[in-house]
């Protein structure tokens, strides 16, 4: 398969064929992120993408899952995305899942009708990086949208019938009192969207990010592991969602959790409380095993 630069995908897409439709991220300004700093954003030629699909057909013969990369393939013109979806389903008879990263801007730039067309042609899930529900923090990390715009983006995906998976980022407020506001407002924004999946990641800083440089200057401090757990607990305690899968099984997290909300909420909180009470790092994923 042909790829340009490092390729990233959500943990749940581990067994998917990754089809690179765009190179890099259309936004690429978030202060915590260094994933696409080695790339200049561009949309690949449709002819190249369709050729890749034929190559994948020759190699895999059939597939059940495909993920459309890079950071924001939804930013492509709708007509091209529809042609890509058609080609995928024509080449892979067993295909039943096509996922995509979606920035809030790219969602809001598409009408509900356009998103509905993508759903009808087989787009099954969109991954939206919410990161935080705190208005001030959203601006500080240069997410590019307001709280209300983020909510509107998430709701539009759900209204179109596409599954919505949102990512929230533990530790984003640093070791400050703002961490509580970050946790409370993150639960609030998730409640307003009621996504199908909520994935919690833990902030890890890499040299190419703005936030890493702030840390090196002493302007930002990463929370300690049990402070992260406290933050996680506040979020889960204040989540009021229905039929939503909660996960913290990303490699960045100290405590892998998976459960259905609201059904498993009490059990999840009891587990976190017990580990916080014991205050023993042996119950947490060691730093050498954590990663992005």
DSSP β-ladder status, 97-101 and 65-69: parallel
Closest CA to 194 of 138, 146, 247, 154: 154
Q: How far apart are CA 255 and CA 218, in angstroms?
A: 27
The residues of the chain scoring below 70 in pLDDT are 1
Q: How many residues does the chain have?
A: 292
Distance CA 126, CA 250 (A): 17
In the prediction, which pLDDT does 207 show?
86
Q: Which domains does the chain have, with CATH numbers?
A: 11-285 (3.20.20.70)
Angle between helices 147-159 and 112-120 (to 10 degrees): 40
Inter-CA distances, 271 with 236, 237, 267, Å: 12, 12, 6
Q: What is the CA radius of gyration of the chain?
A: 19
> What pLDDT is recorded for position 31?
86
Q: Say what the pLDDT of residue 206 is.
A: 86
- pLDDT score at 6: 76
- Spatial separation of the C-alpha atoms in residues 65 and 45, rounded to whole Å: 22
pLDDT recorded at residue 10: 84
Q: pTM of the entire structure?
A: 0.93
- Residue 142 pLDDT: 92
């Amino acid at each position: 398969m042909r790829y340009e630069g490092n390729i990233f995908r959500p943990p749940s897409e581990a067994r998917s064929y990754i089809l690179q439709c765009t190179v890099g991220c259309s936004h690429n300004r978030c202060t915590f992120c260094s994933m696409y700093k080695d790339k200049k954003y561009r949309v690949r030629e449709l002819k190249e993408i369709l050729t890749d699909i034929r190559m994948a057909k020759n190699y895999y013969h059939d597939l059940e899952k495909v993920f459309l990369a890079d950071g924001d393939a939804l930013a492509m013109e709708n007509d091209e995305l529809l042609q890509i979806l058609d080609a995928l389903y024509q080449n892979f008879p067993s295909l039943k899942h096509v996922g995509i990263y979606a920035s809030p801007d790219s969602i809001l730039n598409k009408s509900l009708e356009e998103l509905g067309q993508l759903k009808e042609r087989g787009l099954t899930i969109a991954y939206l990086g919410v990161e935080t529900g705190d208005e001030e923090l959203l601006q500080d990390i240069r997410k590019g949208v307001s709280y209300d715009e983020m909510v509107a983006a998430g709701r539009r995906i759900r209204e179109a019938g596409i599954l919505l998976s949102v990512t929230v980022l533990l530790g984003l407020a640093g070791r400050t009192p703002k961490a509580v506001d970050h946790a409370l407002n993150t639960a609030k924004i998730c409640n307003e969207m009621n996504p199908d999946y909520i994935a919690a990641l833990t902030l890890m800083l890499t040299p190419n990010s703005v936030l890493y440089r702030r840390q090196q200057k002493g302007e930002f401090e990463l929370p300690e592991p049990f402070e992260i757990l406290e933050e996680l607990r506040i979020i889960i305690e204040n989540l009021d969602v229905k039929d939503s899968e909660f996960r913290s099984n990303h490699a960045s997290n100290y405590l892998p959790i998976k459960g259905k909300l609201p059904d498993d909420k009490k059990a999840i909180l009891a587990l976190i409380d017990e580990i916080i009470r014991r205050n023993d790092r042996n119950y947490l994923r060691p730093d050498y095993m954590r990663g992005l």
